[in-house]
Homo-oligomer: A and B are copies of this chain.
């Protein structure tokens, strides 16, 4: 209720008959300060409830020890695990984190970028929104020499550093698996092909079809925004295809779960009538029936790697401008939804 006076190093200095400089050094364990003096300072600081003023400190140091993160959405297992990985590394390195989310819109992504820019983060980690078309909103960072790293949703052609999985390979393996299960007409439900992850998976899908002597048919590729409504619509489109596909590779687990629901409502059996493979290995995979075959995405590892690289760069240990792309392993997890052939 009653606002206490804020304690500063000057208060501590006065009380101990020291200079503010000594208190400042003492508080951060500077080697030139006497051990006992340090203890006296620390004790009094605790007693008075001193808290360091970040603003004064950052103003003077011209650094913030803060890293900004921009993600497209928060409510996904994948993103949450990436954040956990980033947090682990940044906390160890004593950096603070400011997390912003774009709700999949370019507008909010740009607003977040500007916000973090004004907050003067020392570095930025980002995954692009659904409809981001260019990276101009990250240019202020480049101009000021603030490192930016992308993960997952990146611009493949850009010069910035990025951490990704091999989406081409993942798409290839998912599709090849369906082919190996005997599927002859494999559809693909995906999202905005401007996003590298989806474009690459589509490429993998196509190559796997060709390598398995299955024809690639544009009509079997459906693009939507992965919302519940769009997913259901895509599923109905699959059902309406003639002949109906006997397998479908879907680029997102939630979308796949919705599709499965529609397929089952239409009386189709999974995997007998239509086999399904999703992507991400979200918790939902084990809840849907049958359990969903999917591609496991090592989120924590991805977060750790992207954060570690950024911090190494900030510490001058390495230079991210030399390492352009880091590829992380992913793997197909086979469950019932695609097991046409019983083992």
Distance, CA A83 to CA B74, complexed state (A): 10
A2 interface residue per 8 A CB criterion:
yes
How many angstroms between the C-alpha atoms of A225 and B74 in the bound complex?
A: 22
Q: Which B residue's beta carbon lies closest to that of A289?
A: B289
A284 and B117 CA atoms in complex are apart in Å by: 37
The copy count of this chain in the complex is 2
Once the chains are docked, how many angstroms separate the CA of A62 from the CA of B49?
A: 17
Task: Give CA–CA (A143, B51) in the complex, Å.
Answer: 13
Task: Choose one: B59, B84, B144, B321; the contact of A56 (CB below 8 Å).
Answer: B59
A4 touches B143 (CB 8 A): yes
Q: 1/0 contact trace for A42-83 toward B, CB 8 Å?
A: 000000010111111011001010000000011111011001
Instruction: Name which residue of chain B comes closest to A64, CB basis.
Output: B55
Q: Indicate if the CB atoms of A55 and B52 lie closer than 8 Å.
A: no
Q: Which residues on the B side are within 8 Å of A145 (C-beta)? A: 1-4
Known interface pairs A55-B59, A228-B283, A289-B261. Does A3 touch B74 (Cβ–Cβ under 8 Å)?
no
Q: Render A103-114 as a binary contact track against B, CB cut-off 8 A, 1 for contact.
A: 100000000000
A115 interface residue, CB < 8 Å from B? yes
Residues of B within 8 A of A230 (CB): none
Q: How far is A8 from B115 in the complex, measured between Cα atoms in Å?
A: 18
Q: C-beta contact mask, A144-159 vs B, less than 8 Å → 1, else 0? A: 1100000000000000
Across the interface, which residues of B come within 8 angstroms of A52, CB to CB? Answer: 118
Question: Known contacts being A74-B75, A77-B75, A80-B74, is A287 close to B257, with CB within 8 Å?
Answer: yes
Considering only CB atoms, which chain B residue lies closest to A283 in the complex? B228
Residues of A within 8 A of B (CB): 1-4, 6, 49, 51-56, 58-59, 62, 64, 73-77, 79-80, 83-84, 96, 98-99, 103, 115, 117-120, 140, 142-145, 228, 254, 257-258, 261, 264, 283-284, 286-289, 321
Ranked nearest first, the 10 interchain pairs of A and B with the lowest CB-CB distance are A3-B145, A55-B59, A75-B80, A55-B55, A55-B58, A74-B74, A257-B287, A56-B59, A75-B75, A74-B80
